[in-house]
Chain A
Amino acid sequence: DTEVTQTPKHLVMGMTNKKSLKCEQHMGHRAMYWYKQKAKKPPELMFVYSYEKLSINESVPSRFSPECPNSSLLNLHLHALQPEDSALYLCASSHHLSAQDEAFFGQGTRLTVV
């Protein structure tokens, strides 16, 4: 199994809603990542978890709250989002937090905030 699975694929939410994005991998990877990708732009790093501990938070607003309940799962909890938060949210994983390790990406959740 060499896949990173993200659910849901599409999500439309209002600015007062609370929702969660989910990411799962069964490759035994110990580093997991959330990226945000706006249309026609490169992915931008949001969070990095290493061995289930938050390693990097790229100054992301608190309305985005990551959670890593175990080594296979990574969640992103969303609350009080703004329309400008609409984007493709990509999850990725790698063996370890190492420059040489390939990052495997999921297909993403396309989020629309209305």
Chain B
Amino acid sequence: GDSVTQMEGPVTLSEEAFLTINCTYTATGYPSLFWYVQYPGEGLQLLLKATKADDKGSNKGFEATYRKETTSFHLEKGSVQVSDSAVYFCALSEPGANNLFFGTGTRLTVIP
């Protein structure tokens, strides 16, 4: 079955540090891959997505590349800000259905 494995948190970084949150997936077909962000007390917002192998999604300085050979979609940002503090969810969706499978989430705290 489909699944998403995400790096355990929490992650605490100083402002301007480099961020990597690892995500690997298992899927029967060729899924679309997503990163969602959840700020405290709020719902989820799409951060970026990639729909086929070697696609790179990017938004707000965050990037992730769809790597079919390693079944990975790691999230990176070169310089984090305090405002990036949130929970980040990696997710996949199989063709034919938009049933999002979420990873367990990684809580990021950025300190000044």
What is the predominant secondary structure among interface residues of chain B facing chain A? loop
- Chain A 58-76 per-residue mask, 1 if CB under 8 angstroms from chain B, else 0: 0000000000000000000
Number of interface residues of B (CB under 8 A): 24
Please classify how large the interface on chain A is, using the bins under 10, 10 to 19, 20 to 34, 35 or more: 20 to 34
Among B34, B44, B94, max chain A CB count under 10 A is at: B44
* Contact pick for B98, options A40, A90, A99, A105, CB 8 Å: A99
Stretch from B13-21, B67-75, B102-110 contacting the other chain: B102-110
What is the predominant secondary structure among interface residues of chain A facing chain B? loop
Please report the C-alpha to C-alpha distance between residue A56 and residue B93 in the assembled complex, in whole angstroms: 14
Q: Is the CB of A99 within 8 A of B104?
A: no
Q: Is the CB of A103 within 8 A of B89?
A: no
Residues of B that sit less than 8 Å from A by CB? 31-32, 34, 36, 42-46, 49, 51, 89, 93-100, 102-105
